[in-house]
Amino acid sequence: MHQLTQQIMDTVIYPVLAVFFSLLFTWLAIRILPLLGYIDQPGGRHIHKKPTPRGGGIAIVLAFFLVMVFYGAYTLPKSVPGNLSLFWRLLVPSLPLVIVGLIDDRFSLRPWTKLLVQLLVGTLVWITGRQEYVCWGWVMPEWLSLALTIAWVVIIVNAFNLIDGLDGLAAGLALVSSVSLSIWFFITGNRDLEAVTMLIMAGTCVGFLRYNFYPAKIFMGDTGSTFLGLFFAVVGLYTVDRVVTITSLLLPLLVVGVPLFDVFLAIWRRTLRKVLHLGAPGSGIMDADQDHLHHRLLRRTGKQRSTAFILYSLAGVCSCFTLLFVIWRGSVPAIGFAALFFGMLIAIRRLGEQELFDSAMLLRNGLNKPRHGLLANMIHPFVDFSIIVLAYFITGWIIGASPINLELFVCSFTPPVILLCVSGVYRVYWLRAGLYDYWHLALTVLVGALLSCATIYYMFIFTGKTFNLDPHLVRSGFFLFSLLCVVGISLERFLLHYAEGFWVRNLGLCERDKTPVKPERIIIYGGGLACRLYVAYCYNCANRIDSGNVEVIGIIDDDLALKNLRINGFPVLGTCCDLDRIYEENPFRRIVVTSQNMPDEAIGMLRAFVSKTGVKICCFSLTEDYSAAELDRRSKKPESDDITPDLT
């Protein structure tokens, strides 16, 4: 009887205490934060109409941990070890996240900076929590459990961060999720610590909602939204059994189903827009937009209160369904999974109209008129991953490693793949890549391969795993694997670039007239950089020159050191003094001057030669003209002439 009374008091006193401290700290934050510069100005993507304090999430953090300290000090028996394990698993990773959140709310950090901090926080969650999971009888290695823990933390943290775009929305959804989890912990029994912790979080959210609900007097900012996401990420890992199954994952997944669904739609939507509108402003994966769930519902209802209550109701239905499914999972699992599947389809159909439309547009554009450059860039990741796999098998065959060793394969494959994906090499249009792009690619692949080697070396030295390999051969394998990855991936890009140039030059890929035309034979004066540019222009756009196709028979240059050499694939036939001899041996119809600084003597020789033979002469130049008259002149030309250099 005494224990039951104590449980009832805990479930009432500490949540009420959380409400009180949350009200107090939020009231103080409204008055102190503006003095420190924590002001969210209206405009842009923001929908509020007047300057509002932000960073109020610090009130949630302080109220929650203060009440948790009281709960741990006065209620939990100190003799039972591990009673405060959940407290420490929340406190340690919260410190860097809250500090960075406060800095971001004041100075607006870059997305990549915040992502790096979230990766660190995920690592701290793994260190302070469970480091080994069993999935369908298979014990996950530590590196895999670390990767999955970090991914889970980053996803949930960003889910609450993205959904925090409406007055009271993030705090209200956190309230619904906390109450649902507390009910689950009470049902399972002997989980008083977890249940009371959920109710303390619920009380903290209630106190903050007093000032955050529409019209909001304070915003929680990244400080509060990321902390709420971290809270549910840690609790989700805490509720998962040591044996991981699909059913055990449903509770933490669906309790925060609304923010997760919004993240799913955001990734889907931004990926499609990046493909459909390549290079357009706002088409990046990490670029913010106004198409989240709350934005769409707000455009339909026109009222923030109605929108918030709709999303609260949706979260409540999702949580109730989750509790029923987990309770009855032993009797009707198939029915539950079927209901979940059809529920997802209905949600996508009702709330993902924009994503479905963009998907249809991508299919239509791709089937009607595929963009060859885009398709080539989309193929690169698959080719790169295949080369890494091939390098792994070749290295394993040479050093005698078992090719079916899953752990060794993942350690070799994962680091270079992750580094390639985050380094930006897939943003390069490799048919027009420069030397820096190739250097960046080679360095990225090399660092990724070295990280793979370092991972395997760590397992050799610190975990004692040998994989039945000779340590001396492993060092050779490290070098061979790195070399194969760098050479293979770089060579693939180079061959693609060379093949495209060969195709254009020799197979007539550029548009030409249907009727065969005898090419016009020309001589180029000047073997410098402008000559190289003209050669590329000549071969790729030959049909745009006045007389049709052209044939370059050679180059003349007044630099005697270049005589009898080859420049840009063509022989240097001589200097201006040799024009008569060259014309007799190989008659030509035009001289293209690419030299920017011609001596007066050479100009006189060219004029004399042209007047005597009737050969046409033109100058190739690349210049910028900022005048409005030049813009008007170009606008009246056909589209095919807009990108051609001046040839006069």
**DSSP assignment of 469-495, as one string?**
--HHHHHHHHHHHHHHHHHHHHHHHHH
- Amino acid occupying residue 460: F
Give residue 360's pLDDT band: very low, low, confident or very high (50, 70, 90). confident
Per-residue pLDDT tens digits for 311-328: 888 888 888 877 777 666
Sequence spans of domains, the chain: 2-39+49-368, 372-506, 520-647
What pLDDT score does 601 carry?
85
Per-residue pLDDT tens digits for 217-229: 999 989 999 999 9
Q: For the chain, what percent of residues have pLDDT higher than 90?
A: 14
Q: Is the torsion defined by CA of 176, 177, 179, 180 positive or negative? A: positive
What pLDDT score does 47 carry?
66
Q: How many CA atoms lie within 13 A of 432 on its CB side?
A: 5
Per-residue pLDDT tens digits for 464-508: 555 556 666 667 778 888 888 888 888 888 777 666 655 544 544
Interhelix angle 246-255/169-188, nearest 10 degrees: 140
Per-residue pLDDT tens digits for 268-289: 887 777 766 655 555 556 666 7
Number of other residues whose CB lies within 10 A of the CB of residue 358: 20
Note the CATH architecture for domain 520-647: 3-Layer(aba) Sandwich (3.40)
Question: Does pTM top 0.75 for this prediction?
Answer: no
What pLDDT score does 3 carry?
61
Please calculate the CA angle 349-262-195 and round it to the nearest 5 degrees: 115
pLDDT exceeds 70 at position 112:
yes
Q: For the chain, what percent of residues have pLDDT higher than 70?
A: 71
Give residue 513's pLDDT band: very low, low, confident or very high (50, 70, 90). very low
